[in-house]
Amino acid sequence: MNKTVNQKAWFLVLPVLLLVAFSAVIPLMTVVNYSVQDTFGQNQFFWAGLAWFEEMLASERMWNALWRQMMFSGIILVIQVPLGIFVALNMPKSGAWSTVCLVLMSLPLLIPWNVVGTIWQIFGRVDIGLLGYTLDALGLEYNYTQDTLDAWVTLIVMDVWHWTSLVALLAFAGLKSIPDAYYQAAKIDQASRWKVFRYIELPKMSGVLTIAILLRFMDSFKIYTEPFVVTGGGPGNATTLLSIDLVKMALGQFDLGPAAAFSIMYFLVILLVSWVFYTVMTNLDKQEG
């Protein structure tokens, strides 16, 4: 059968194209434009060439922020992914409790970032916060505003609290899509619980888990509001993650050029990682299909 070739439908994409142009492409081009110039305000710009890129690549400050960011994203992924899978495996698969669990799990996801930050900022305070006060009463010296380790632990626990449910919900969706026949076959073969997980559940969840890891990586890599509200990047620079440093540079110091060069490198890292994840994800689909 011959298909009718009609490419007019492409015109329907035009509004999206326009929107994306104004919300993403033109701002990105502006950043590239700023990265090769210097300004002192009043809309006066001076050509700087690649100087800002050189400065940023040699800047210990940027490498430290990048290192901290990698650490943060790595740690939260290592905790959230296994924990999310564990929670999903132990959730009731059907019935009223399943619904209750789903609603409870999605609650943290509904809370705006700065509210989460404020909750934990108060929660961790030694004078009035339940967590800080309790730890203090137990004789543990806990102070997230002065101790680097405490600040990091607070941020990581907060992120785990906020986002593990996302991984759990996605893993749960993956688990629900496995037909009963697989479990019956496993039962006939007397497969152990571990083998059921390793050879049935994990492969069937791999697609959604890749999406979960991608989403969690992206979100944690560009995290700003929560650490900004809780620690403000402190103590010292201990929790100054990439975007906090970027905002300090661009808006605090009004160093538009270096900040633009910094943003481009930041963008390239995210672009590369997203592409790798996307490619792995689509190739997995093709192998399955």
Partner 1 sequence: MDWMAWTWPTAIFFIVIAGLLITFSVLAIKFPETPRRGILRIETTRGDRLFITLVGSAFINLAWLGIVGAQQPYALIVCLAYALAVFRWV
Note the residues at the interface with partner 1 (CB under 8 A): 29-30, 32-34, 36-37, 39, 43, 45, 47, 49-50, 53-54, 57-58, 265, 268, 271-272, 275, 279, 283, 286
Place of tokens 């299909």: 289
Q: How far apart are CB 206 and partner 1 at their closest, in Å?
A: 16
Query: What distance in Å separates the CA atoms of residue 128 and residue 122, rounded to the nearest whole number?
Result: 7
Q: How far apart are CB 26 and partner 1 at their closest, in Å?
A: 9
Query: What distance in Å separates the CA atoms of residue 256 and residue 39, rounded to the nearest whole number?
Result: 7
CB atoms < 10 A from the CB of 266, how many?
A: 21
Instruction: Report the candidate in 24, 157, 172 with the shortest Cα–Cα distance to residue 79.
Output: 157
Question: Based on CB atoms, which residue is closest to partner 1, 2 or 192?
Answer: 2
Whether the CB-CB separation of 285 and 207 falls below 8 Å is answered with yes
Query: What distance in Å separates the CA atoms of residue 100 and residue 245, rounded to the nearest whole number?
Result: 40
Q: How far apart are CB 255 and partner 1 at their closest, in Å?
A: 16
Query: What distance in Å separates the CA atoms of residue 210 and residue 245, rounded to the nearest whole number?
Result: 29
Question: Based on CB atoms, which residue is closest to partner 1, 36 or 200?
Answer: 36
Question: Based on CB atoms, which residue is closest to partner 1, 24 or 32?
Answer: 32
Question: Based on CB atoms, which residue is closest to partner 1, 171 or 249?
Answer: 249
Q: How far apart are CB 167 and partner 1 at their closest, in Å?
A: 25
Query: What distance in Å separates the CA atoms of residue 230 and residue 132, rounded to the nearest whole number?
Result: 13
Question: Based on CB atoms, which residue is closest to partner 1, 45 or 197?
Answer: 45
Query: What distance in Å separates the CA atoms of residue 81 and residue 165, rounded to the nearest whole number?
Result: 10
Q: How far apart are CB 60 and partner 1 at their closest, in Å?
A: 13
Question: Based on CB atoms, which residue is closest to partner 1, 38 or 136?
Answer: 38
Q: How far apart are CB 275 and partner 1 at their closest, in Å?
A: 7
